[in-house]
Amino acid sequence: MSQVQMHEPQPDFIIRSRASLEDEHLQEALEKAGSGFVHKRQAAIDRIGNFEQLRDQAQRVRARALKNLDLYLLHFEKKVTEAGGQVHWAETPEQMRELVIGLCQKQNAKTATKGKSMVGEEVDLNEALEAAGVAPQETDLGEYVLQLAHERPSHIVAPALHKTKAQVQRLFRDNHALGERALDEVADIVNEARAVIRDRFLQADVGITGANMLIAETGTAAIVTNEGNGDLTATLPRTHIVTTSIDKIVPTWEDASAILRVLGRSATGQDITTYTSFFTGARSDQDKDGPEQFHIVLLDNRRSELLGSEYEKMLHCIRCGACMNHCPVYQSVGGHTYNSVYPGPMGAVLTPLLRHEEQDNQLPNASTFCGRCESVCPVRIPLPGLMRKLRDREQRERKHAGMAQWAVKLFCKLSRHPAVYRRLNDFNLRLVAIARGRKPRFQSLPFLSGWTRHRDFPAPEKSSFQSQWQQRQKEKQP
C-alpha cells in the first residue's frame, strides 16, 4: 500500500518557523485564538476548590492503568468480545491502515463518516481509505474544513485553529453549491456544514471514530464531543470502527470519571463537554439503535517500548491540548510548524519517540523551557524534563559536533579558569562597547541573525559585574 503524502514540508523546523512567523493568515488566526483557551481553563478551575486534587487523582489513574496495561488490555478485549464486538491489534501504522481498510471492504463500504481521531491522523488513514475506494467523510467541523483545504490538523483539540473565518468562507464558496445562502456569520457557516454533513451521517456505510478512553472493566470505548458528530458517526452506520491506541486504557468507570473531570476543564474550560458517550460492543436485541458490528483497532506504534522507559510518563497524556494552549512557541508558530499530528510540547516529546525521523530531533529544542506546559498538564507530565532527556540523547547520539557544541565545550573549558575567563570577558565587553557606540540595542549581530531578524538584542553593559564591583570598592576607599 502506498502512503499518500499531501505535501512535502520543509524538513527544517527553523525554516518552517520562519515561514509561519511571516504567514499573515496564520498570525491572524493565532491572535484570535490567543488567550481564549487559557482564560476559560482558569475560570473552570476557579469554579471548584480542589482542582489540584483532581489532577493528582487523574495522574494516579493513568499510572495505575499503565502498571498492569497487559492485563487491562486483555480484559478489555474479552469484554468487547462478550458484547459482540471485536478487537484488532496493529503494531505499526501500516497494519492499522490495512486492518481498517479490510473491515471496510468486508462491508463493501463506499463511504465512511469519521469522528475526530488523532490516531487516525497518526496513521494517515484518510489517504489510505481514499486509495482503497472508501470515501472518508470528516464530520467534526474543524476536520471537515481541513478536508476541504487538504490540510492536516494544527491542534489536537481545535484542528482548524490556524484557519480564519474568511478562509473558511472561501473554502465553502469554492466547494458548496451555495446559491442564495448567506455565509457572513459563524452561525451561517456552522448551519451550512450541518446541512451538508447531516445526509452523510444517514447514508454512510461505516462510521469511524477515535476514543478518549477505553474502560477495561466492561470493554467500553468513550468519546467526548461538543458537536455531537462523533456520536452520530458511532451510532447510525451498520458498522462502527474505533481507531485508538493501547495507552488509552483506564481500569474502571470510576477511573474514567477521574479523567473526565480534568479533561474538559483543561481542554476547553468546560466542566464537561456537551456529549460524553460510552460504547460497549454491537447493538443487542434490547437496544433501540446502534451498529450491528463493532470493531476496535488498537495501535501500538512504539508505545509499548516506552513503558518502563524514562519516557513512560508521556503515555499518561490524555490529549487535552492545555500544553500547546500555554506554550509561547506554539502560540507563535502554530501547529503545522511541528510537521507532526502531535504539535506543541506534548508533540515535541511524543513525535521523536513514535516516529524516529532525523528531523524530529529538532522538536525537543523548540522550547524556551518556561515550564508552563508542565504547570498546566492535568496529569503532571514533566514535559520540559522529558524534552531535556531527548536533547541529551540527541547530543550523545550525534556523530558530528556542530558549531554550537564546540562553543559549549569551549565555554566549559574557559569557565574552569576564572582568571582567563574574566580577562577574555572584559576584552569582549570592550569590543562590544566600541561596536555599540551610543545605541542601547543592536539591530543586527553576526551569528545571531535568528534573534535580530525579529527583535533587537539588548546591548550589554560596558564592563562586567565583577569589574564594576572592583571599581566601586576602590572608589569607596578613602
Partner 1 sequence: MTDSRSRIIDRIARSTGGNFSTDSLEESFKALTVKHTLPPVQPQMEMADPVATFISEAGRNGARVTELESIAQVTPWLRDNTDNTSTSARFHLSPSILTQSLDWDGLTTTTETPTAAQSWGVVQAHTGIAETGTVMSLSDECPSGLLFLVERLVIVIAREDIVAYQEDAWQRLRARNILPRTVNWITGPSRTADIEQQIQIGAHGPREADYLVIDKPR
Residues 121-150 contacting partner 1, CB under 8 A: 139-142, 145
62 closest CA partner among 252, 222, 249, 311? 249
Q: Which is nearer to partner 1, 117 or 362 (CB)?
A: 117
Give least dist CB 3 to partner 1, A.
Answer: 19
Other beta carbons within 10 Å of 36: 13
Q: Does 86 bind partner 1 (CB under 8 A)?
A: no
CB closer to partner 1 out of 72 and 338: 72
Rounded to whole angstroms, what are the CA distances from 351 to 47, 131, 331, 359? 34, 26, 19, 10
- Rg (the chain; Cα; Å): 26
d(CA 94, CA 124): 9
43 lies in the site for partner 1, by CB under 8 A: no
Instruction: By CB under 8 A, name the one of 2, 7, 150, 187 that touches partner 1.
Output: 187
Strands 111-114 and 206-209: parallel
CB of 249 to partner 1, least distance (A): 10
Q: Could you give the 3-state DSSP secondary structure of residue 138?
A: strand
Residue 259 binds to partner 1 (criterion: CB under 8 A) = no
Q: Alpha helix locations (H) across 183-327?
A: 186-203, 229-235, 253-267, 303-306, 322-325
Restricting to residues 360-399, which ones interact with partner 1 according to CB under 8 A?
Answer: none
Using CB under 8 A, count the residues that bind partner 1: 109
Residue whose CB is less far from partner 1, 69 or 377: 69
Half-sphere exposure of 59 (CA within 13 A, CB side): 16
**In the complex, what is the shortest distance from the CB of residue 91 to partner 1, in angstroms, rounded to a whole number?**
5
Q: How far is the CB of 435 from partner 1 (least distance, A)?
A: 45
- 409-468 binders of partner 1 (CB under 8 A): none
Q: Which of 107, 226, 452, 463 binds partner 1 (CB under 8 A)?
A: 226
Q: With binding defined as CB under 8 A, does residue 161 bind partner 1? A: yes
Identity of the residue, 9 or 228, whose beta carbon is nearer to partner 1 in the bound complex: 228
Give the C-alpha separation, 195 to 332, whole Å.
Answer: 35
Cell of 152: 492536516
Binder of partner 1 out of 2, 5, 108, 286 (CB under 8 A): 286
Site stretch for partner 1 (CB under 8 A), options 54-62, 119-127, 407-415, 441-449? 54-62
Q: Among 289, 358, 397, 475, indicate the residue that binds partner 1 (CB under 8 A).
A: 289
Nearest to 249, CA basis, from 295, 214, 286: 214
Which residue in the set 154, 239, 244, 280 belongs to the binding site for partner 1 (CB under 8 A)?
280
**Binding to partner 1, residues 1-30 (CB under 8 A):** 29
Q: Which of 305, 310, 392, 461 binds partner 1 (CB under 8 A)?
A: 305
- Contact between 283 and partner 1 by CB under 8 A: the answer reads yes
Exposure string of 221-247, with b = 16+ CB inside 10 Å and e = fewer, is bbbbbebebbbbbbbbbbbbbbbbbbb
Cβ at position 66, least distance to partner 1 in Å: 8
Q: Which stretch binds partner 1 (CB under 8 A): 3-11, 31-39, 433-441, 461-469?
A: 31-39
CA pair distance 222, 79, nearest whole angstrom: 14
Q: Cα–Cα distance between 283 and 285 in angstroms, integer?
A: 7
- Contact between 242 and 299 (Cβ < 8 Å): no
